[in-house]
């Protein structure tokens, strides 16, 4: 029997008793506090990433309007004169 199977059997034995194990009140409060902090950090990170994406899009639009990469660059040589 592997260690995973032993752990799984121990958990099943605890849950099959019918009465859930008691959780200390301090543990519950700590879990709520950490969960709230984790949610706030995740929300702040998501907002920061959206802000960076918006900034990159604005920078691209400004660069494209100035550089105009869709316009053909001017010719570097003069065309030959044919009507002399």
Residues 51/44, Cβ–Cβ less than 8 Å: no
Give the position of tokens 């004169």. Answer: 81
Q: Is the pLDDT of residue 12 over 90?
A: no
Going by pLDDT thresholds of 50, 70 and 90, the confidence category of residue 84 is low
* Vertex 6 angle, CA 14 and 1, to 5°: 150
What is the pLDDT at residue 47? 98
pTM for the model = 0.57
pLDDT tens digit sequence for 41-56: 999 999 999 999 999 9
**Across residues 6-21, what is the average pLDDT?**
83
């Amino acid at each position: 029997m592997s260690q995973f199977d032993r752990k799984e059997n121990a958990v099943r034995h605890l849950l099959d008793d019918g009465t859930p194990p008691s959780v200390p009140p301090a543990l519950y409060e700590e879990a709520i506090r950490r969960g709230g902090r984790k949610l706030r950090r995740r929300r702040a990170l998501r907002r920061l990433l959206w802000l960076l994406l918006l900034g990159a899009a604005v920078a691209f639009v400004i660069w494209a309007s100035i550089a105009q990469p869709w316009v053909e660059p001017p010719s570097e040589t003069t065309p030959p004169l044919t009507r002399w």
